[in-house]
Structure 1
């Protein structure tokens, strides 16, 4: 991450404290993030990168003498932010006596941001769509996964839906936690789990996605049909 605009040099404590904060934040965020495990990441492009430019589109309206008017389009980048505090006495005790820092506040803030990021990726926010509601999304209705093997049948149906639409894989899959956990069931004959079976179909990974309350998202990873774009 770029240090510009963060004013870290103004903080009245050593770089080692920042290193501990960074480590706590990164580890906490990684424990929650699932969108970045199924999508490619572009950037970071800097704090000032506020809009992802798209191709120009011809503007509607009256044309004078056949003149074509085109206008730029773009996708706005959301800014996610969560605050925490670290008491000065705790920092002083750490630097003077080696007392361990309580970084629970930093970890909680990172978890909140990570959960918000996943919600944005899957559900969108405002006029920006997510994976679940983007134009052109294909939907397959899930039946209950009460019997062992039902999950695999459902995923095969989803793969077939994408295959028929021209997306031939390889695929990656994100599942709501309840559905993901059901994949640990073993087949009555043999010692294999449904998860092992699913991984033969979905070669680019099966992810537990806390950002999904139900269902799942199956993606073709053979081309950058969708990406996460980072500012800073």
Structure 2
């Protein structure tokens, strides 16, 4: 048994496998931020802090001619999204039903993904994470609603980074509205917009729920670091005769080495 307490749940191994598969299916497309930054880990549940290579002020020492300073670390955020499923639906799954109602799990996965994406791009003051958007010193590029002009604006953002000496390839984070326009739009020559953007960027275009607008980031490496302790896992909380409460849980930190390696499109 470990900290997820899965052995205590009134759930069969096959049903656990179904729940794990559903969580992976829902999380994979929604975790856009981690696809655009450096990902380190997972380093395990016991990993609690990220070293940032700095020390604090000199502290009093019990001996003369000896100095002491505390290492400064960035604590990992421990994030949990709970959800409850009907015992009747779980029993139906154990009997082989293929239409099990897992809406609550899907909604929890969406909430957790939005929190992770927001922490990376918007920051999270309570956890000590600086976000890519507020940290960037580059002036945002104004984005209009014409999908045919969007590729020009993305190219302008990439040019701004190039002029600053920030090399590519580049990646693009999109909120839901921008993602819909990119997936369904075309440029002035009729080429699917997403294909045009990928040629400009030489990198990925990702849907990132939890942000507003679009953000271009360098993919050269070393600029933005997401450190995973416990990667997202499914655990058991408690149950009643009628329902079982589960949770999705992860621990992570986020650091920025080069804030100028990103441009927002507003």
TM-score (structure 2 length as normaliser): 0.73
CA displacement at 1:93 relative to structure 2? 4.2
- Separation in 2, partners of 1:12, 1:205: 42
- Separation in 2, partners of 1:149, 1:105: 38
2:42 pairs with 1:47: no
Number of matched residues? 225
- Separation in 1, partners of 2:88, 2:180: 44
Secondary structure at 1:52 match in 2: strand
CA displacement at 1:202 relative to structure 2? 0.5
Structure 1 gap ranges (5+): none
- Separation in 2, partners of 1:181, 1:25: 23
- Separation in 1, partners of 2:9, 2:165: 54
Q: Is the 8 A contact 2:59 2:69 kept in 1?
A: no
2:200 pairs with 1:201: yes
- Separation in 2, partners of 1:27, 1:40: 22
Aligned CA distance change for structure 1 residues 156 and 61 (closer, same or farther; 3 Å): farther
Q: Which one has a larger percent strand, Structure 1 or Structure 2?
A: 2
2:25 pairs with 1:24: no
CA displacement at 1:149 relative to structure 2? 4.9
Secondary structure at 1:53 match in 2: strand
CA displacement at 1:58 relative to structure 2? 5.6
- Separation in 1, partners of 2:187, 2:90: 54
> Which residue is 2:76 aligned to?
77
Aligned CA distance change for structure 1 residues 196 and 98 (closer, same or farther; 3 Å): closer
Aligned CA distance change for structure 1 residues 156 and 99 (closer, same or farther; 3 Å): closer
Aligned CA distance change for structure 1 residues 181 and 85 (closer, same or farther; 3 Å): closer
> Which residue is 1:157 aligned to?
156
- Separation in 2, partners of 1:90, 1:58: 54
Aligned CA distance change for structure 1 residues 22 and 68 (closer, same or farther; 3 Å): same
- Separation in 2, partners of 1:67, 1:155: 55
Structure 2 gap ranges (5+): 231-266
CA displacement at 1:19 relative to structure 2? 0.3
> Which residue is 1:185 aligned to?
185
Q: Is the 8 A contact 2:49 2:75 kept in 1?
A: yes
In terms of mean alpha carbon deviation, does 178-187 or 200-209 score higher?
178-187
In terms of mean alpha carbon deviation, does 221-230 or 145-154 score higher?
145-154
- Separation in 2, partners of 1:150, 1:131: 24
Secondary structure at 1:31 match in 2: helix
User: What is the 5 A alignment of 1:165-184?
Assistant: 165-183=164-182, 184=184
> Which residue is 2:132 aligned to?
131
